[in-house]
Structure 1
Amino acid sequence: MTSAAEVYLQEHEEELLRAYFDLLRIPSVSALPQHQDDVRRAAEWVAERLRHIGVPHVELLPTERNPVVYGEWLVDPAKPTALLYGHYDVQPPDPLDLWETPPFEPTVRNGRVYARGASDDKGNLFAALCGVEALVRTQGKPPINLKFFFEGEEEIGSPSLAPVIEAHRQKLACDFVISADGGMYDYDLPSVTLSSKGLCACEVVLRTAATDLHSGQYGAAVPNAVQSLVQLAATFHTPEGKVAIAGFYDKVRELTPEERAEIAAVPFNEQQLLERVGAKALWGEPGYSPLERMWARPTLDLNGIWGGFQGEGVKTVTPCEAHVKITCRLVPDQDPEEILDLIERHVTTHCPPWAEVSVKRFPGSARPFAVRRDHPALLTAKQVLRELYGKEPLAERTGGTVPVAELFQRLLGADMIFFAWGMPDNRVHAPNESYRLEDFRMMARAYTRYLEALAR
């Protein structure tokens, strides 16, 4: 049966989409200093949208970088209190020449909205707010107590969040968190997310001489920094794909037979994945399925490697310096700082004797997160998905990192329930990011049902 709130969403869709497109037009790229004012403008836009919905208390919580949009609507002390999380910042749109239409001018083609942030996370964030708005317009208030927490630094690792959460623990106190950042396993395959990976990052810098040298005069005698770094980088993995850093797996919580069976029950087609990403074969740690590796095993990725001459044509130099950037996705019970210690020890041990090496650690580390399977808000999410799709939701994990999930869990004692409609082919973080209008509608509708179900 269609509720009054769902009818409201249908009748006001054009108006709601106009507002969604207005948000997408703001280039709130948190990684680029030249967009600092745009990030602030997006925060103010979201705050104003909360006021438009009717949220009684809205404010911007300052941080060292970008403000948190906070809102509060307490309707009944006997009702549960949920904190709705999302982020209004987006990734850089580069490379621009690969976009079919401008990244900050939303365009609808074949039932999809194309724009940077269309899915991650402006589309998901705004669809959740549409669900709240529909309930408020038809019932006068939300069915449970709601707090809103929308950050502007998720795409740079949420570096300001721990201090702001600690400073406002009492204000942010809640029974659980609902994340409007995340997604479903696939179209017509609803899912609940049980865990997300942690993250740490560093850059390894290797030097072999005081300056670049003439390769004809010195190349046969003086070590080459690029060659030396490649030699070092090759020691990070075994040929089969296992991370070869001593101690890397020591604290990894092994999958139980039940967990492996749960992952195996998820439909997975290796050939479809290869076609989707344009790869010839899969690769990774032996002894685990692709889904187990992506969802529940730690990784070490070389994200960029450079040194010497990078321009067109030829420059005959023997480089004196080379760099490699590394990120690790972590699983329970790995600690980001301990993993960086292990990397530093490894590069010191395996560095060629003719070179010097150093490790630069990047901020934004995050611990892995997991929610218990019997959490009432998780069970309620499964119930709502079962009603909407007419099938049992899958239990999935994400190989990505949502730093705030573990922070809320550790600092507020509040577990996060992922309830969002990003899809695998939305091309988030890539050119031509998109969001199906059908998924936008489904998410808004689902939020009306989810909040009602939580109240019951």
Structure 2
Amino acid sequence: MSHNSNLDAVLAKIDADLDVSLDRLMGLLRLQSVSTDPAYKDGINKAADWLVADLASLGVDASKRETPLHPIVIGHVGNTGPHLLFYGHYDVQPVDPIDLWDHDPFAPFIEDRDGKKVIRGRGTADDKGQLMTFMEACRAWIAVNGELPCKISFLFEGEEETGSPSLVPFMHANADELKADLALICDTGMVAPGVPSIASQLRGMLKEEFTLHGPAMDLHSGHYGGPAINPLREISRIIASFHDDQGRVTIDGFYDDVIEIGDNLLAQWETCGFNEADYMSGAVLTTPAGEKGYSVLEQQWSRPTLEINGLWGGYQGAGSKTVIPADAHCKITCRLVGDMDPDKLRTALRKHVEDQLRPDTTITWNNDLEGAPASVMNTDRPEFELARQALSDEWNREAVFVGMGGSIPIAGHFKSVLDMDAMLIGFGAEDDRIHSPNEKYDVEAFHKGTRSWARVLAALT
């Protein structure tokens, strides 16, 4: 019997077991696996142990692997067909500020919200609920067929929310074990309600931070106001030079390695159901302020940016203190696209700043900040179109290849460390409030996400 002929039975099993699957998810959500705070070390370990036990219940050869920080859970099952590696993370963001939550963030529950059922709690959408959609799809496959349709490996990380310091060394050390035909990543969302999405590109990231030094100490603005150079005024002049009045970055060579998006992909984006006005109004904004000549989606997905994330110096307390500060500070991030090289851009950005220094100013750069290039998925592989059709069948709406404004470093690591292509499929919504108080995940996203993964497994095998 073919895998596709078994699919209807697998989907029926998913439907019948939805309540049980949700109860199982609640058990994982109750575990306080905050990775950035050492006080939650016990919760991290309990979540890793929970996943090992759940994988073992499916017949997966699973184990908890220790790292210098938090454990990584690894599992393997199956011997035939293509080899897929599924990635998710079980750690969650801190819950602060706790007083903005309407409920205990680690006491998950389901509520009816304007006629739609949602799961409430920390980690519901990022990433435990998403992770469990794949697990429940595998569970239904095994219940119906006695086995999965292909060889699957599982990689569950406990440090994603704290920068994944142990992940790349672990991947290098275990490359032979982890190498597969294709990686699947669930830590994403849908471009619009009801529109299934496969990420085709992710922007990269460059972080920079510098301090502009002026006088040897803070100066009395009555005595030195006028003759003394003011670092805050100077740093304001410099950062104002980063953009022209069309929203373009003025650093020499900034756009050299940017790749324009093809007409076919642009056509998909234009019909993907994204509402520009709703997107802007969700942040209480009215007018796109980015690079002129590009839509909001293009600005977010396919154009590079330079943003000022922090700017400070001088007196920050209550009232007035009449000083000319000795120093001023600036934090910057650049989102990268196409073939932009973070090291090349770092050199150009620093030159742009240093070329504008005036007498009696010097600059110190933070040399501990990282950069990562953009990730572009190999959508020419036949698996991508097969998966797109499988998602379209489930959602009764054409699935689309989308871009992502943010960065998911694991996708790049799969390529650079394991020479594996990655496919990113997730079912999160724009209003899931990930990283914020009152995080939620739609029950429909969990249910149809599970069904979607069952269809994708059938399609890829």
Aligned to 1:377: 383
CA contact (8 A) 2:213 2:327 kept: yes
CA contact (8 A) 2:7 2:455 kept: no
CA contact (8 A) 2:191 2:274 kept: no
The reply to whether residue 49 of structure 1 matches residue 54 of structure 2 is yes
CA contact (8 A) 1:182 1:418 kept: yes
* One-letter amino acid of the structure 2 residue matched with residue 118 of structure 1: T
Written as runs of structure 1 = structure 2, the 5 A alignment for 1:101-140 is 101-109=103-111, 110=113, 111-140=117-146
Aligned to 2:92: 90
Aligned to 2:44: 39
Aligned to 2:416: 410
The reply to whether residue 59 of structure 1 matches residue 63 of structure 2 is yes
Q: CA deviation at 1:345?
A: 1.9
Aligned to 1:429: 435
| Aligned structure 1 segments of 4 or more residues deviating by more than 6 angstroms | none
Deviations 1:100-142 (A, max 9, x none): 2233332433211222221111110122111112222232221
* Residue segments in structure 2 that go unaligned for 5+ positions in a row: 1-5
CA contact (8 A) 1:39 1:89 kept: yes
Change (3 A) 1:298 1:362: farther
Q: Distance in 2 between matches of 1:245 and 1:312?
A: 37
Q: Distance in 2 between matches of 1:29 and 1:340?
A: 32
Change (3 A) 1:379 1:137: same
The reply to whether residue 354 of structure 1 matches residue 360 of structure 2 is yes
Aligned to 2:3: none
CA contact (8 A) 1:119 1:435 kept: yes
The reply to whether residue 300 of structure 1 matches residue 306 of structure 2 is yes
Q: Distance in 2 between matches of 1:19 and 1:313?
A: 54
CA RMSD in angstroms comes to 2.3
- The one of 68, 71, 89 equivalent to 2:72 is 68
SS at match of 1:201: strand
Q: Distance in 2 between matches of 1:420 and 1:176?
A: 16
Q: CA deviation at 1:40?
A: 3.6
CA contact (8 A) 1:159 1:363 kept: no
* One-letter amino acid of the structure 2 residue matched with residue 93 of structure 1: V
- The one of 5, 9, 31 equivalent to 1:4 is 9
Written as runs of structure 1 = structure 2, the 5 A alignment for 1:383-402 is 383-402=389-408
* Residue segments in structure 1 that go unaligned for 5+ positions in a row: none
Q: CA deviation at 1:192?
A: 2.0
Change (3 A) 1:280 1:241: same
* One-letter amino acid of the structure 2 residue matched with residue 377 of structure 1: E
SS at match of 1:323: strand
CA contact (8 A) 2:76 2:153 kept: yes
Q: CA deviation at 1:9?
A: 3.0
Aligned to 1:209: 215
Aligned to 1:338: 344
Q: CA deviation at 1:362?
A: 4.4
Q: CA deviation at 1:33?
A: 4.2
Change (3 A) 1:353 1:14: farther
Q: Distance in 2 between matches of 1:70 and 1:248?
A: 41
Q: Distance in 2 between matches of 1:223 and 1:9?
A: 68
* One-letter amino acid of the structure 2 residue matched with residue 100 of structure 1: D
CA contact (8 A) 1:381 1:419 kept: no
Q: Distance in 2 between matches of 1:131 and 1:75?
A: 18
Q: Distance in 2 between matches of 1:245 and 1:184?
A: 34
Q: Distance in 1 between matches of 2:356 and 2:30?
A: 48
CA contact (8 A) 1:367 1:403 kept: no
* One-letter amino acid of the structure 1 residue matched with residue 201 of structure 2: S
* One-letter amino acid of the structure 2 residue matched with residue 74 of structure 1: G
Aligned to 1:284: 290
SS at match of 2:47: helix
Q: CA deviation at 1:342?
A: 2.0
Q: Distance in 1 between matches of 2:345 and 2:46?
A: 37
SS at match of 1:260: helix
* One-letter amino acid of the structure 1 residue matched with residue 204 of structure 2: G
CA contact (8 A) 1:232 1:352 kept: no
Length-normalised TM-score, structure 2: 0.91
CA contact (8 A) 2:277 2:286 kept: no
CA contact (8 A) 1:131 1:444 kept: yes
Change (3 A) 1:40 1:312: farther
Deviations 1:148-197 (A, max 9, x none): 11122323333433322222111011110111111111222222221111
CA contact (8 A) 2:141 2:148 kept: yes
CA contact (8 A) 2:342 2:373 kept: yes
Aligned residues: 452
Q: Which moved more, 1:247-256 or 1:58-67?
A: 58-67
SS at match of 2:92: coil
* One-letter amino acid of the structure 1 residue matched with residue 36 of structure 2: A
Aligned to 1:20: 25
* One-letter amino acid of the structure 2 residue matched with residue 128 of structure 1: F
Q: Distance in 1 between matches of 2:428 and 2:279?
A: 17
Q: Which moved more, 1:370-379 or 1:27-36?
A: 27-36
